[in-house]
A and B are shown apart, each in its own frame.
Chain A
Amino acid sequence: MRPRASFRLAAPLAATVASAACDGFIRPPDPLELDPDVVAVAIMLVAGEREARLLATHPHRQANEPPPTLAATLEGPGWTAAFSDTLELRKCIDASNWPGPARCLRAALPEEIRGGEGYEIEGTAPLGSFGGEAVLPAAPVLIEPGDSLHLPMSAEYGDHLIPMRYRIGDDIGTLLADVLDAFRMEEDGTETELESHHLGYFGNPLEGTEADTVRIHYHLRPLRFSLRLLGIGWNYTNFLENEGIFPLPKPWPSFGIDGEGVYGYFDGVVPSRATRVWVR
């Protein structure tokens, strides 16, 4: 082929290539077409409370659509309670970017939730029935600190490190530190109540099997607060461990909930005794 003829062939090729290049190089994201009637359920019983809360969400719908409608009952030792009351959503969740329309339901219980006890749930959702069971773990045993702990105010800015020793059973999947009743003592002698997140982030599980250290943020003023452990069962732990960006293939670990078009977890949290802490 003579050079000129060769270039005649090359020109349309170059034009084709150039036009194709403008269309973008990679496949754009697709919206995930998932069943809009799927309901996500989150139930975390709290030992010591006489109510149970159930968070139901349509995770595949827009937030401005109606929340899910479902009927569910909780069964304890010798009693059954229906989730019949609707609460404010923040009673179930305080996440700001919760996907989809959600509803917070409450069941009044005839007795307190107890650690080591088994509970069952049954219900119906738009796509069918669901059920599940959870055995709450035994309460974690806080060994150290004792009933009270006094920490000196540090001259330097830095976290207060509180060593904790404890004993937990195999039924605890997640062990958290929890701060409550936190107050800052002001110069005028008054006390200002603090949210726990002002004292630190307690969402990361304690990793030591028998001991770990809790970090409390430094404040310029003296503090007092209660510190305890929270033991959560394996249903929630299994569920949380699988957050991510890739789908979790079946068979799934136990989440405590099983049913048609209903996904989520059913578990409970059991606190240890609390220790009073003073920083001054």
Chain B
Amino acid sequence: MTGAALLIAALQQATLSGVVRDSVDLEPVAYARVTVAAVAGEAAAASGVSDRYGAFVVPGAAGNGAVRVEVAAVGYAPWTRSYEAPPAEPIRVLLRPAPIGIDGIEVNVAGRAGDPISRSRDAFVIDSLLLRTLPAILETDVLRATAVSPSASAPSDYTSVPFIRGGTSEGTPVLLDGVRLFNAFHLGGFLSAINAEVVERATILAGSGGDGMGIGSLSGAIEIATRDGSRDEIRMAGSLGLASSRLSVEGPIGSSVSYLLDGRRTYIDGLTLALENMGAVSDHLPYFFQDLHAKVTADLGGVRRLSVSGYRNSESLQVHDSAETNTLGLSWGNSALSVHYRDRLGDNGIVDANLGHSRFTSDLFALGGGSAVHRNGERVEYTPPTDTLLFGDGIMSETRADLRVTWRTGRATITGGAQATGFLGDHEYDHTDEFQSDEGFFFSPVTLRESSWRLAAYSSVEVPLQRGFSTRAGVRIDHFRRLATTLAPFAELSYAGSWWDARVSASRSHQALASVRDEEALGASFLAYDLLIPVSRPPVPRNTEFTVGWEGSRAGVRVRVDAYARTLDNLRLPALEARPASGAALGDPSLWEVASGSAKGVETSWSWMSDRGFSVLGSYRWARVSRTVGSRTYKPRFHRNHEFELGTSYAHGASSWSARASLRSGQPTTPVLAIVPVQFHGTPRSELVPLGGEYNSGTLPRYARIDVGWRRESRVSWFGGGSIVPYASVANLFSLPNVVGWFVERSLTGETRRVYVPQLPMIPFFGVEFRF
């Protein structure tokens, strides 16, 4: 009887789907809450949340009679519409931008703009609002902004790519519009290579379960989504900063297509050349970077859409001698192309198909052996350099096809997907002993060529249980060519209370890519570049993790606590050499050992946003991380036990002020027991042998830093109206002397000293952004 009643009720239910858009520029609006309720009767309302493309599917709506549809999203006026019957075709919801008191609508929408912990239980979401309220380091930087997550830890001030929960960068792909972007930064890693002007959001997936199942990596992912181009009119935005300028142009093509084109070019080379010509600096820096991104989006009706995103960047350092002979050339860059197609699958499903290709190339050479003699400023003798001291080139590429179906029934949400990924790594670099520029600090000669592919299928289902409990469970199966077929399950049990929820989960993931980076080398703190190569022999690197999470929101304060424990197996790591700090940052993983690692920690984050323009975002993280290579277990050099971050921003009128404070315990280092002199036998030459204790059993001095920023938006009437936003920021305001390492030095007076390798000193930055 009960079953018959349920069947009848099910048959009487309808599914509402559609897309939520901004009414001005028609951009999709994510995280909008859509509620469908019967106008008459006692049928329970059904609700859903729009995804990153603004699409929603709400099953379980009353199938007979009139319904009222309400849509709410932060920053928009509520949208309400009544229908005689639930529409069978997808509806289009246009939300009108409106300043809304943030606290007042908190209960209605799935997230708060600028609040990274409110939008996803699986991730931290950095939206464009938060991106611009953080103090700029050189310029607004999307990768640096991800460090607001307690799961993300910056290994040094010089690298913008964070490490996630004790993992390293090779386990955390940076995805741009769904395709992996290799080495997504410039200036050795200091500045991310993605134009912040076009970023809609960056999502930090800390784990391998939930949304992370579709990634298949060891340590989550950083997903960067660019926005669609404007659909109403041609717009232009950009910035002029200390190091580079950015420009984006976007607009509609016809009624259903939009485009977005943006680029950036540094003028470090031109600026330093001008300073050299003026006598302000002795040598100019012949270095440049540039990047270009384009995106075209076609709205095909309803939830159907097609977007194509292309990206290309390049960097180059070209040194010439006095006769203009090119003596040092370092060129590298990457390109990426992704295609995304979305369609409706039946009444309740959405299918997403992605195709992506990404490619990184590099080309290095250095010449030596030449000489020049100058008299009175004139070159009177010149021997061109002909000895090749450094040479090499490399390619790595990834091609990926991904099909994903999301199916919503009355109670359950089912996700299934299939992926095929091909990877090529081909790197060959060599240098002679005479190549003094490197001195082994950054890389050692490598010859690596390996290609591989991977097939994967995954599925998960989310089912609400009784009394506030719900569960998610799934499995991912990977076949790694010539290696293994692996199984990666995921299970989660969660409970939702009135103002809080909690969850416990377990998951596993695999990845068959190894990195050339040796994080124990001091040079790794200054150079974020990585070369990846498929693992050629089993076993496949594996991550197993358990997490417990709690999240609550009261009186505008939102708190999230996550505890995790994870083990990393079958990593490829170098054996600890005599003095790991002096090793090359980029080595040869084919020579490395099968190793393991572990990490456990507790992450706490909190946010508070007032309706008077004041907001606070903070986090504290405690963790323990270790690596084991052979019989030796050690704490990796990049890890800090404690990290506390506090960011505040205050907006008043057109101005906004922001500050960010970081307090962190010191990174590990090897203590010194004795510094013993040794004489070279038979000669008067002597040197020092610093004898240390257990590897990384000591700690560097604590880390403290305060960044501040200011920006002010002014309306102008130029080019038909727009705004200009001058900004200024200071990194490390009090020039607190943070360090990344140290070494022993004996001074001329005979004193033996500890000389520190500094982190970022105080540096002011300024620039101006504009939008028309």
Beta-carbon nearest neighbor of B652 in chain A: A1
CA distance A10 to B203 in the complex (A): 33
Interface pair A250/B693, CB less than 8 Å apart: yes
User: Is B681 on the interface with A (CB-CB < 8 A)?
Assistant: yes
Binds A, one of B140-148, B278-286, B309-317, B746-754: B746-754
Q: Is the CB of B691 within 8 A of A230?
A: no
B745 contacts the other chain (Cβ, under 8 Å)? yes
In Å, the complex CA distance between A99 and B738 comes to 30
A20 and B695 form a contact (CB under 8 A): no
Neighbouring A residues of B683 by C-beta, 8 Å: 197, 201-203
0/1 interface trace, chain A 93-112, chain B, CB 8 Å (1 if under) = 11111111000000000000
What CA separation (Å) do A241 and B579 show in the bound complex?
A: 11
**Closest CB in chain B relative to A85 CB, distance in Å:** 21
Shortest C-beta distance, B545 to chain A (Å), equals 29
Q: By the criterion CB–CB under 8 Å, are B674 and A243 in contact? A: no
Q: Mark A217-243, 1 if CB is under 8 A from B, else 0.
A: 000000000000010100010011111
Residues of B within 8 A of A21 (CB): 735, 762
Q: Please report the number of residue pairs spanning A and B whose Cβ atoms sit closer than 8 angstroms.
A: 204
Is A40 touching B676 in the complex (CB atoms < 8 A)? Answer: yes
Is residue B716 contacting chain A, with contact meaning CB distance below 8 A?
no
Known: A13-B708, A29-B756. A250 touches B681 (CB 8 A): no
- B637 → chain A closest CB, angstroms: 11
**Residue of A whose beta carbon sits closest to that of B690:** A247
- B733–A29 CB distance below 8 A: no
Q: Is the CB of B686 within 8 A of A98?
A: yes
Q: Does B537 contact A (CB under 8 A)?
A: no
**Nearest CB of B to A194, in Å:** 15
Return the chain A residue nearest B738 by Cβ: A27
Which residues on B sit within 8 Å (CB–CB) of A32?
A: 672, 675, 744, 752-754
Q: Measured between C-beta atoms, what is the minimum distance from A263 to chain B in Å?
A: 5
Cβ of B129 under 8 Å from chain A: no
Contact present for A244 and B754 (CB under 8 Å): no
Identify which of B83-91, B183-191, B484-492, B653-661 touches chain A: B653-661
Closest to B747 in A: A29
Within 8 A of B (CB), among A151-201: 174, 176, 178, 196-197, 201
Q: What are the residues of chain A within 8 A of B708 when measuring CB–CB? A: 13
Q: Does B694 contact A (CB under 8 A)?
A: yes
| Contact across chains for A96 and B684 when beta carbons are under 8 A apart | yes
Of A1, A3, A27, A99, the contact of B688 (CB 8 Å cutoff): A99
Of B672, B739, B743, which one neighbours A27 at CB under 8 angstroms? Answer: B739
| Given A38-B674, A203-B680, A264-B676, CB of A245 within 8 Å of CB of B692 | no
Q: Is B163 interfacial (CB 8 A cutoff)?
A: no
Residue of B nearest to A236 (CB): B681
Provide a sorted-by-A list of 13 A–B residue pairs whose CB atoms are within 8 angstroms.
Answer: A13-B710, A16-B733, A20-B735, A99-B675, A99-B746, A201-B683, A203-B682, A240-B680, A243-B688, A249-B580, A249-B670, A249-B695, A252-B691
List chain A positions with a Cβ less than 8 A from chain B: 1-3, 6, 9-10, 13, 16-17, 20-21, 23-32, 34-35, 38, 40, 42, 44, 57, 59-60, 62-63, 93-100, 174, 176, 178, 196-197, 201-203, 230, 232, 236, 239-250, 252-253, 263-265, 269
- Residues of chain B having any CB pair with chain A under 8 Å: 522, 576, 578-582, 652-655, 657, 670-696, 701, 708, 710, 712, 728, 730, 733-735, 737-739, 743-746, 750-756, 758, 761-762, 764
